[in-house]
Amino acid sequence: MQRGDPPRRGACARRVWSSTGGHTADTFLLSDDDYRPLTTVGIDDYVAGDGRHQPYWFYELERWPGDRTSYDLAQIRTLGVLQLLGCPTLAFGAHMPQIMTVDRWQRAFELSDQIGGGALVDEWSLYFNIGSAEAPDRFCEPRPFRTLAWPQWPHQWPFMVRPDPIRFENHYPEHEAAGGLFAELGSATCDADALERIVAWRSAELAIAELRFDATWIDPWTRGQQHRRGAAAAIRAAAKVRKYANFADPDR
């Protein structure tokens, strides 16, 4: 297992944790240490009045747009497992804590292993899709995810559903360092701090859509390099020329 392979590493660690009795309760919140709450989160965000659990999704696995990283490959492999099992295929790796039970967790891996799912799978999506297919009375209808900075930068992939309301930040230390989206902001310790992060991310989303890259950013497209920002500016200028030319000729 390589250090740069978080999907495989995370699934393996969590599988061992559940199978060896490392858990302390039958019901738990599965999370990573970089899923940071931005505001108050109540029990009703996770458990309905009738006791059913509330899952959160962010994509459809059949429409996941990438195939280059280990994360991409985990989405594709999980899609195949779920299709062979005849289960729904939503993506639940929403980079926020999710409520789970040990019995359904073990069952999801059991079924995945029977058809060779292996370690490179998305355990969040296995759990909720298999669980909702086999025990629908234990789950509410999935809601849109509630995570800021997933993806890390706006437009790294198109949103299928937007986060609303926002409750968590998918924390990247790079965003608080020089070149990051939140470099001028402090840690989020109150709602006012969370607001500034939401504003910064949304402002960046609008700017990047127009190929406007801040000179201080080290983003995935310009990588902080002046000649790349210059190329983006040239494309932006050409797009404006085309837009105005089309206004002059309504048949275009």
The residue behind tokens 């789970």 is: 100
Cα–Cα dist 139/180, whole Å: 38
For the stretch 124-155, pLDDT in tens is 999 999 999 999 999 999 999 999 999 999 99
Q: Where are the domains of the chain?
A: 6-143, 172-252
Residue 62: phi, psi to the nearest 5?
A: -65, -20
In tens digits, what is the pLDDT along the chain, a chain of 252 residues?
233 445 554 555 555 555 555 656 899 999 999 999 999 999 999 999 999 999 999 999 999 999 999 999 999 999 999 999 999 999 999 999 999 999 999 999 999 999 988 889 999 999 999 999 999 999 999 999 999 999 999 999 999 999 999 999 999 999 999 999 999 998 899 999 999 999 999 999 999 999 999 999 999 998 878 877 777 666 766 666 555 556 555 555
Q: Determine what percent of the chain is predicted with pLDDT higher than 70.
A: 83
> Residues 54-77: pLDDT tens digits?
999 999 999 999 999 999 999 999
- Cα–Cα separations (whole angstroms), residue 34 to 79, 169, 229: 25, 8, 30
Closest CA relative to residue 154, chosen from 164, 165, 146, 162 = 162
Could you give the 3-state DSSP secondary structure of residue 75? Answer: helix
State the pTM of this model. Answer: 0.86
Picking from 139, 154, 147, 141, the residue whose alpha carbon sits closest to that of residue 212 is: 154
